[in-house]
């Protein structure tokens, strides 16, 4: 008697290596390729619409769902390709502000590099599809977990990562923003992706013409996840109020040559501060306890240039309050610079130097320094028409920016640092009572400024701190700990903003938890990938046919 052995049929459309298996039917079946391509493009557009300047936050889970449906059940390389397509459609317009003054090549390279991470996400979703088909409840959870893991990787690698475009940063006007106070940006991303995962499940049920009740239940679950933040209590600052002034001095013209206009930029901020002092004396404005100038307000090193120091001294004495001056400093070695926030007291003696300084801890690769300079510099010069700007490396600081300014301990965060969880959290843990984000948007456009303001709003809720953003050209404004923006300035204009903010001393659950929510969610994603791999191997193992035997 001969025993016939058969291979177990594959669940989904792929085998363990992405090769076709049996053709499935139902919610796990892959869509026709033209349909999948259209969904991938639609996913990228939906993700884009969630971010400023559009601000349609509710399209973010729709984008997640469309990408998941497009890649489900497909070969691994097809999953990667569809994710890459969605990523290119998303990141291209989102990061278009990077091409305004350096040409198209850096923008295209950055777009494709960022899109690669969504390609990896598409591959991972295709990888777990067979497991999710056998256990449908895993599909929404798997989508959410893998999205968090993708962002965790993109936020860190390479060269410290580039977190722009995280799902959490699209939720500044959404109920899900409240979740930031409980688990930071990773928890917000998880909630948005989980809502998208439930929508993907519902859409799959509808495509397969299965039970409408399950589709309706999944849709209701997505809505519940989205609205959960409405019932969560927020952390509000419990300290006294301080009067804060933000000076937006503007620049003579936008562009990378703002550095060549450095005397005019400094003069603009001095003049605006003098104007504020006149308004205070006339009773038209409240006397500020502290004043914040933006990043690059003084690109003339005031620690080495007596004329720049005298100008800032004049402004500080006139307003009779300490000024947080965004300055570019020389050194410490030749060919190096430092991006700094200096506390300039109103009573600084002539010839003396400020005692408090914060140095930016996370310089931007390829913009403020060149990684692997001997190798990268020739390539960078070949793809940008601004090679002269690449000659100086900015040196990273090593300590959080907690600066005493009058009655307040101000947490200084410079420009893109607001996108990095650890930089902001370390500042709060070091004692910051309010957060000040100094930025220079003169090399970008209003969309970049609004995207950055959305990040400030998330950080305010995440750590329960009143916050502000001070920009050279806009958008500047105040953000209270509930995430609401107040007194926002226009773009490419000068402005003087004055408002009372409250000092905070407590910590939120998110501040206390730190990176652990992201670590645990990422570990769960890795476990899911391993489980999917085990399930794929088991499906290819020979299984004895227990049916009729065939006699020889």
Count the alpha carbons within 13 Å of 319 in the hemisphere toward its beta carbon: 36
Asked if residues 469 and 505 have their Cβ atoms less than 8 Å apart, the reply is no
The reply to whether 333 belongs to the active site is no
Q: Which of 360, 368, 462, 518 is catalytic?
A: 360
Question: Token pair 């404004």 is at which residue?
Answer: 477
Torsion of CA 500, 502, 503, 508, to 10 degrees: -140
Q: Which of 151, 368, 415, 448 is catalytic?
A: 415
Asked if residues 498 and 284 have their Cβ atoms less than 8 Å apart, the reply is no
For 49, residues 6+ apart whose C-beta sits below 8 A from its C-beta are: 56, 59, 63
Query: Where does 213-366 show beta strands of DSSP type E?
Result: 241-248, 290-292, 323-330, 336-344, 356-359
Asked if residues 79 and 31 have their Cβ atoms less than 8 Å apart, the reply is no
Round to whole Å and give the CA distance between 358 and 364.
16
The reply to whether 360 belongs to the active site is yes
Asked if residues 498 and 288 have their Cβ atoms less than 8 Å apart, the reply is yes
Give the sign of the dihedral formed by CA 210, CA 214, CA 215, CA 218.
negative
Q: Which of 205, 295, 368, 462 is catalytic?
A: 295
292-to-171, 234, 322, 498 alpha-carbon distances in Å: 27, 27, 9, 10
Query: Where does 115-210 show beta strands of DSSP type E?
Result: none
Round to whole Å and give the CA distance between 233 and 110.
39
Three-class secondary structure of residue 346 per DSSP = coil
444-to-294, 313, 369 alpha-carbon distances in Å: 15, 30, 18
Which residues are the active-site residues? 295, 360, 415
């Amino acid at each position: 008697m001969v025993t016939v052995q058969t291979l177990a049929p594959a669940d989904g459309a792929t085998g363990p290596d992405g090769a076709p298996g049996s053709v499935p039917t139902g919610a796990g079946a892959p869509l026709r390729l033209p349909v999948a391509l259209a969904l991938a493009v639609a996913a990228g557009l939906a993700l884009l619409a969630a971010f400023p300047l559009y601000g349609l936050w509710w399209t973010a889970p729709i984008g997640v769902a469309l990408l998941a449906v497009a890649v489900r059940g497909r070969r691994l390389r097809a999953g990667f390709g569809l994710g890459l397509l969605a990523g290119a459609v998303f990141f291209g317009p989102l990061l278009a502000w990077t091409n305004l003054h350096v040409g198209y090549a850096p923008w295209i390279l950055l777009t494709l590099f960022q899109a690669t991470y969504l390609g990896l996400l598409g591959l991972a979703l295709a990888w777990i599809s067979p497991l999710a088909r056998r256990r449908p409840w895993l599909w929404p959870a798997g989508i959410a977990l893998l999205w968090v893991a993708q962002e965790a990787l993109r936020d860190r690698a390479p060269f410290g990562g580039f977190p722009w475009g995280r799902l959490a940063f699209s939720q500044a006007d959404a109920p899900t923003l409240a979740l930031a106070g409980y688990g930071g940006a990773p928890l917000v991303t998880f909630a948005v992706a989980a809502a998208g995962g439930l929508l993907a499940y519902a859409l799959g049920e509808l495509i397969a013409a299965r039970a409408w009740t399950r589709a309706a239940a999944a849709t209701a679950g997505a809505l519940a996840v989205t609205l959960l933040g409405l019932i969560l209590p927020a952390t509000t600052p419990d300290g006294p109020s301080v009067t804060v002034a933000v000076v937006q001095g503007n620049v003579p013209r936008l562009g990378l040559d703002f550095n060549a206009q450095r005397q005019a930029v400094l003069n603009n901020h001095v003049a605006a501060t003098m104007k504020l002092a006149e308004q205070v004396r006339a009773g038209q404005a409240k006397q500020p306890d502290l004043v914040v100038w933006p990043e690059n307000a003084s690109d003339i090193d005031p620690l080495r240039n007596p004329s720049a120091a005298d100008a800032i001294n004049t402004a500080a004495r006139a307003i009779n309050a300490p000024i947080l001056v965004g300055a570019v400093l020389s050194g410490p070695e030749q060919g190096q610079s430092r991006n700094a926030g200096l506390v300039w007291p109103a009573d600084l003696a002539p010839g003396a130097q400020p005692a408090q300084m914060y140095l930016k801890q996370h310089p931007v690769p390829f913009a403020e320094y060149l990684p692997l300079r001997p190798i990268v510099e020739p390539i960078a010069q070949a793809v940008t028409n601004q090679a002269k700007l690449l000659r100086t490396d900015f040196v990273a600081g090593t300590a959080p920016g907690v600066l005493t300014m009058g009655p307040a301990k101000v947490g200084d965060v410079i420009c893109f640092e607001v996108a990095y969880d650890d930089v902001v959290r370390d500042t709060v843990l070091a004692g910051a009572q309010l957060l000040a984000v100094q930025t220079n948007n003169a090399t970008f456009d209003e969309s970049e400024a609004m995207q950055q303001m959305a990040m400030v709003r998330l950080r305010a809720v995440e750590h329960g701190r009143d916050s502000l953003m001070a920009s050279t050209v806009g958008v500047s404004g105040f953000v209270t700990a509930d995430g609401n923006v107040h007194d926002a300035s226009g773009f490419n204009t000068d402005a003087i903003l004055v408002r009372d903010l409250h000092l905070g001393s407590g910590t939120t659950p998110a501040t206390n938890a730190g990176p652990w929510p992201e670590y645990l969610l990422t570990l769960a994603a890795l476990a899911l990938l391993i489980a999917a791999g085990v399930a794929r191997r088991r499906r290819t193992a020979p299984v004895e046919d227990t049916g009729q035997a065939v006699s020889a």
